[in-house]
């Protein structure tokens, strides 16, 4: 009996959600991120390579996976989890690891980067660098006003 009432109610709420929206908001801000660029030792960029990011508190399982862009770049935001982050990049039998240590010092995040790795056939250079932007989280936030519905 209860199920007969609850199920239609949930379905109605799910259907009603998007229809009830009158606009959209975008919250913007700045934060610190880790940017990597993966290359072979020939200098060729590792475009479209498989990326796995491992967080300090669970280093055996990927925290994030993705793919490098056409320039071999990949960016992620480690947040406030202090410790050693590891980034693995692989492509067609070539692979390497890079490491970034994120420490917390009040609102500031300090980052040191190291690199390691040669590929199966060639040396792969993965540079972990930091987008040094503003210190702290979201120095400003700006909410874009929704456009007036037509």
Partner 1 sequence: MSLPSACLCTLAAALIIGTAAAAKGSLHLFANGEALAREGFIAPALTRDGWELRFDHVFVTLAGVSALQTDPPYDAHAGDKPRATDTVVFDAIDQMTIDLTDTDAQGRVMLATAPAPAGHYNAVVWSVVPAQSGDWAGQSMVLVGTATRDGASVDFTLTSDATHDYTCGEYVGDARNGFVTAGSDAALELTFHLDHLFGRLDKEDADPMNIHALGFDAFAAGGTHQMTLTGLHIGHVGEGHCAVSHR
Q: How far apart are CB 41 and partner 1 at their closest, in Å?
A: 7
Nearer Cβ to partner 1, position 31 or 52?
52
Residues within window 45-104 making contact with partner 1, judged by CB under 8 A: 52, 54, 59-61, 86, 88, 90, 93-97, 99
Q: Report which secondary-structure segment, H or E, holds 16.
A: helix 2-20
Tokens of 89: 């990049």
Nearer Cβ to partner 1, position 76 or 99?
99
Residues within window 27-46 making contact with partner 1, judged by CB under 8 A: 41-42
Binder among 71, 120, 139, 144 for partner 1 (CB under 8 A): 120
Radius of gyration over every alpha carbon of the chain, rounded to an integer in angstroms: 21
Q: How far is the C-alpha of 55 from the C-alpha of 65, rounded, in Å?
A: 12
Q: How far apart are CB 119 and partner 1 at their closest, in Å?
A: 7
Q: How far is the C-alpha of 6 from the C-alpha of 124, rounded, in Å?
A: 56
Strand partners, 96: 89
Q: Which of 60, 69, 82 is nearest to 36 (CA)?
A: 69
Does 110 contact partner 1 by CB under 8 A? no
Binding-site ranges for partner 1 (CB under 8 A): 41-42, 52, 54, 59-61, 86, 88, 90, 93-97, 99, 114-125
């Amino acid at each position: 009996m209860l199920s007969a009432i609850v199920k239609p109610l949930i379905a109605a709420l799910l259907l009603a959600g998007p229809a009830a929206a009158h606009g959209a908001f975008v919250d913007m801000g700045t934060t610190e991120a880790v940017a990597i660029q993966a290359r072979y030792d020939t200098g060729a960029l590792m475009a479209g390579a498989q990326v796995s990011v491992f967080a300090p508190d669970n280093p055996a399982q990927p925290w994030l996976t993705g793919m490098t862009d056409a320039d071999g770049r990949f960016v992620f935001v480690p947040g406030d989890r202090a410790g050693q982050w590891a980034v693995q990049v692989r492509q067609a039998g070539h692979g390497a690891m890079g490491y970034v240590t994120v420490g917390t010092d009040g609102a500031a995040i300090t980052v040191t980067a190291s690199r390691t790795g040669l590929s199966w056939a060639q040396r792969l250079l993965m540079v972990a660098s930091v987008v040094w932007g503003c210190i702290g989280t979201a120095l400003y936030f700006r909410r874009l006003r929704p456009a007036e519905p037509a």
